[in-house]
Chains A and B, each alone.
Chain A
Amino acid sequence: MPAGPWQGAWLALLLLLLAPAAWAGGDAARGRAIVISRQKGLCLLCHSGPFPEERFQGSLAPSLAGAGRRLGAAELRARITDSQALNPDSIMPSYGRASGLRHVAPAWRDKPILTEAEIEDVVAFLLTLTDD
């Protein structure tokens, strides 16, 4: 490859092509456990989804069924990490953000709801939800 001003662009393109492989880092089975958990992910407080064994699914948000067909990994990650950056009025908690919150109870203070690794697991799981 010739050295020169194009090198950076080639590198960027290469990274972009490799990126989906890096996104596959999450573990879908762990992600599923987080999504249905009432203590950890809390997703089913608001969402419903293809979880026939789970009673008590919420109706405050759209169903998660088909989320992996409608949205790509980057969109899912952005949605979960900071939903309120996409839509300031969203009631969906910003799972990866720990700042800008008020009156947080001591046990949860300065911690995001999910770690980056946990968010990757959830993304990996949501990508498997391709049927409506």
Chain B
Amino acid sequence: MTWLLALLLGTALAQPRSGALDMSRELQALQADDSANPGMLWVQEGEALWQRPEGRAAKACADCHGAAPASMRGVAARYPAWDTASGAPLDLAGRIQSCRSQHQQAPPLARESEPLLALSAYVGLQSRGLPVTPPEDPRLAPARARGEALFRERRGQLNLSCAQCHEERAGLRLGGSLVPQGHANGYPQYRAEWQALGSLQRRLRNCMVGVRSVAPAYGAADYVEIELFLAQRGAGLPVEAPAVRP
């Protein structure tokens, strides 16, 4: 009996729900229409950058990876992934940064810079519709566990955890905003609030600042750890990059 209840509860919780499903019709239509989705402007820019030789190696992404629609299909769906060179997990933007410094030998692209967002959006688009599929790599487990701990830890002057909003109160309203389950399947994304494309890290910083908490600097390991956990709890959701959100 208890077991049955646990099973039923387990399946209910195991059903992740994309934030897109709870947006207004207008925003849903904007996300679905490539000729109207503002994120596609960054995708176009990313496609141009993919072809452009850069750095002392004078190589373009395309010189190593060929056509992105074939070689980058499914990549965003499985990030963050383990990086053997640095012995740490990397998110997609971190991977692009490391290709740029190691293989192109070009000056670094800052987090949240337009070219890095554009390349992330272009690579992200190649996984659109594919299910989020976090790798079962055991080397990722400790970082993912730290991410879950961060997700459950109360923080800031308002003393709230991510889980208290996104697990226990998803679907309710925080002021005028519907609290989504807080999945990471649509990044980088165009937020009406930002009037721009932004990364998952930017979104996480917004939530942290909202509870009057310290937000670690862009690129901090904390964000990659949280993203690892978010990918696991959102496994199976379709990749929506570049998504649109309020």
- Residue B160, interface by CB 8 Å: yes
- Residue A84, interface by CB 8 Å: yes
Interface residues on B, range: 20 to 34
Whether B175 and A103, one on each chain, are in contact in the complex, defined by CB atoms closer than 8 angstroms, is: no
Contact with B along A51-89 (1 / 0, CB 8 A): 000011111100000000000000000000000100000
- Residue B169, interface by CB 8 Å: yes
Q: Report B-chain residues with C-beta under 8 Å of the C-beta of A58.
A: 172-175
Whether A105 and B157, one on each chain, are in contact in the complex, defined by CB atoms closer than 8 angstroms, is: yes
Whether A44 and B175, one on each chain, are in contact in the complex, defined by CB atoms closer than 8 angstroms, is: yes
- Residue A104, interface by CB 8 Å: yes
Cα A111 to Cα B102 in complex, Å, equals 46
B167 to chain A, nearest CB (A): 12
- Residue A8, interface by CB 8 Å: no
Whether B157 and A101, one on each chain, are in contact in the complex, defined by CB atoms closer than 8 angstroms, is: yes
Please provide the chain A residues from 36 to 57 with a CB less than 8 Å away from any CB of chain B in the complex: 38, 42, 44-46, 55-57
Q: Report B-chain residues with C-beta under 8 Å of the C-beta of A59.
A: 172-173
* Interchain Cβ contacts under 8 Å between A and B, 24 examples: A42-B158, A56-B173, A56-B176, A59-B173, A60-B172, A60-B173, A60-B174, A84-B159, A91-B164, A94-B159, A101-B154, A101-B155, A102-B156, A103-B155, A103-B213, A104-B156, A104-B212, A104-B213, A105-B209, A105-B213, A105-B214, A108-B157, A108-B212, A113-B157
